[in-house]
């Protein structure tokens, strides 16, 4: 089931146009019951991690492969994804299934460190981390300088579903080198407060209980950015949901928006 969900979301990422060439990667922290569904082998040699993750000691992670193309993962799952076992001290991994002739995603440090944070933060509920390149959100980075507050003030003001589908806000992370330990550590710090992070000029990292939920969060944020783009093309954004309206929408569903985003003022946000 977890493998099927990963294959479906890989197709979906490609169809959405968020996964050009080898863009994007997905990882799933597998529950014990899922291991019985997969034909796990005895395991190859251990590979040490640059940053050990003791919080994930002994866990099994389903991950996409380095350089794989999202549009092809469902056609050749044994090559384009696989199951890693983390050692008893969380300092190394070995392949138990798949990843035939290849290695795990280049963003493995970000995935593992982020899983460690979100596992604790969600009481174990969040199991999927998804990285992708949604074009309208990336384009926003090129329009002006943002921080987490100004970015979410804008995104939540564009559509009432925004605050409902990512109430924890989309954290804004200044540019860092893809695949680096630096980007992993910064993502981790942002994930302590938020379930979704925008890497400046690059893409989104989202954490959720399921692949569908992670995809939905990114979709909602990207939709808001597309609405912004369309409104700009129609002459510019002159009005939008006020902080009071955003709060009312959230309250109607019993949702608490992330603190520090909505000010006390009641007018539309200047954008």
Q: Is 33 a catalytic residue?
A: no
Token duo for residue 257: 């928006």
Query: Tokens 């299934």 identify what position?
Result: 97
| Angle value at C-alpha 107, between 166 and 164, nearest 5 degrees | 5
Catalytic residue among 12, 33, 37, 107: 107
Map residues 201-240 to x or -, x wherever contact with ligand 2HA holds by CB under 6 A: ----------------------------------------
Question: Does residue 24 belong to the site contacting ligand 2HA (CB under 6 A)?
Answer: yes
Question: Does residue 268 belong to the site contacting ligand 2HA (CB under 6 A)?
Answer: no
Map residues 161-200 to x or -, x wherever contact with ligand 2HA holds by CB under 6 A: -----------------x----------------------
CB of 190 to Zn ion, least distance (A): 16
Closest residue to Zn ion using C-beta atoms: 203
d(CA 174, CA 188) in angstroms, rounded, equals 14
d(CA 219, CA 146) in angstroms, rounded, equals 20
Stretch of residues binding ligand 2HA (CB under 6 A), selected from 17-25, 91-99, 212-220, 227-235 = 17-25
Q: Give the helix/strand (H/E) hosting 171.
A: strand 170-173
Q: Which is nearer to ligand 2HA, 106 or 245 (CB)?
A: 106
Token duo for residue 166: 């990512």
Handedness of CA 133, 99, 39, 114 (dihedral sign): negative
- By a kind-dependent CB cut-off of 5 to 8 A, residue 106 interacts, out of Zn ion, ligand 2HA, none, with ligand 2HA
Query: Tokens 């309206």 identify what position?
Result: 245
Map residues 117-156 to x or -, x wherever contact with ligand 2HA holds by CB under 6 A: --------------x-------------------------
Q: Give the helix/strand (H/E) hosting 197.
A: strand 196-199
Q: Give the helix/strand (H/E) hosting 86.
A: strand 81-86
CB of 258 to Zn ion, least distance (A): 24
- What is the three-state SS of 247-269? HHHHHHCCCCCCCCCCCCCCCCC
Q: Which is nearer to Zn ion, 156 or 172 (CB)?
A: 172
Q: Give the helix/strand (H/E) hosting 30.
A: strand 25-30
The residues that touch ligand 2HA, with contacts defined as CB under 6 A, are 22-25, 105-107, 131, 178
């Amino acid at each position: 089931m977890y493998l099927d969900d990963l294959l479906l979301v890989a197709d979906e990422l490609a169809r959405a146009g968020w996964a050009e060439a080898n863009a994007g990667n997905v990882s799933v922290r597998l529950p014990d019951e899922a291991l019985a569904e997969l034909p796990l082998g005895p395991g190859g040699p251990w590979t040490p991690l640059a940053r050990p993750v003791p919080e994930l000691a002994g866990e099994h992670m389903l991950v996409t492969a380095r350089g794989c193309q999202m549009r092809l993962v469902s056609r050749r799952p044994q090559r384009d994804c696989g199951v890693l076992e983390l050692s008893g001290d969380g300092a190394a991994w070995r392949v138990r299934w798949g990843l035939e002739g290849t290695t795990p995603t280049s963003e493995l440090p970000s995935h593992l460190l982020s899983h460690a944070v979100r596992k604790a933060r969600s009481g174990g509920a969040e199991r999927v981390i998804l990285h992708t390149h949604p074009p309208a959100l990336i384009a926003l980075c090129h329009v002006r300088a943002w921080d987490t507050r100004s970015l979410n003030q804008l995104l939540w003001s564009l559509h009432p579903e925004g605050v409902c589908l990512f109430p924890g806000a989309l954290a804004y992370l200044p540019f860092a080198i893809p695949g680096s330990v630096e980007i992993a550590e910064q993502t981790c710090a942002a994930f302590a407060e938020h379930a979704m992070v925008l890497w400046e000029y690059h893409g989104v990292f989202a954490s959720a209980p399921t692949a569908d939920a992670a995809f939905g969060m990114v979709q909602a944020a990207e939709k808001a950015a597309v609405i912004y783009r369309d409104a700009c093309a129609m002459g510019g954004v002159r009005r939008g949901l006020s902080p009071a309206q955003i709060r009312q929408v959230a309250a109607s569903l019993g949702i608490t928006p992330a603190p520090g985003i909505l000010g006390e003022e009641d007018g539309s946000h200047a954008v």
